[in-house]
Chains A and B, each alone.
Chain A
């Protein structure tokens, strides 16, 4: 399974765009990249998943370069309610999910 590396924490201000980068140097051909968000005392919540290039949904964008050794979760115009821990996971249909420690994002007013 590909190991992932993310920053431990990030700070931002309301209204700014936040980019969280995840490194996964030994990603396998069949692996997808998935991001989850977790608020205190709640289970993680799926944000977005991608395989290559760019994926966008109503809450975020995921940028994956051609070599797929990293990925960037982009949150447009964050608000205080986006303060949470964000996890990057890499795997395929046959792998279990391995969460790292995640990135603790703090959005300030």
Chain B
């Protein structure tokens, strides 16, 4: 257990439905990252926050994807109008970034299946 939790661990939904995932980072960490991982591939960066500011969102996969981190604590990732191609593991990570050393602590992930 890294101290990063994600909820739910598994989500099955029908195509066209909206889904929302939650990530609770390690409390003192200022950075929070979201990744997507498909079978046999490394994690694919989606977006990240420093405190409550979303510093990079251009790599979110489409405008159906959005993320928030109100108050700089937990974060949510929402996917609207899900498609079968959205089926993947969604990983959250947090870090206390102060210099070049950035040890990211990953949560267990949320596995999404879109039917």
Q: Which residues of A contact B (CB under 8 A)?
A: 30, 32, 34, 41-46, 49, 51, 85, 87, 92-93, 96-102
Contact = CB atoms under 8 A, between A and B. Distances in A.
A83 B35 CA distance: 23
19 contacts: A30-B100, A41-B108, A43-B43, A44-B93, A45-B2, A46-B105, A49-B100, A92-B100, A93-B100, A93-B102, A96-B45, A96-B48, A96-B56, A96-B59, A97-B33, A97-B45, A99-B43, A99-B45, A101-B40
Contacts of B48: 96
Contacts of B79: none
How would you classify the secondary structure of chain A's contact residues: helix, strand, loop or mixed?
loop
Interface residues of B, number: 27
Q: Which 9 A-B pairs have the closest CB atoms?
A: A43-B106, A99-B42, A46-B103, A32-B100, A96-B45, A99-B43, A43-B91, A102-B42, A44-B106
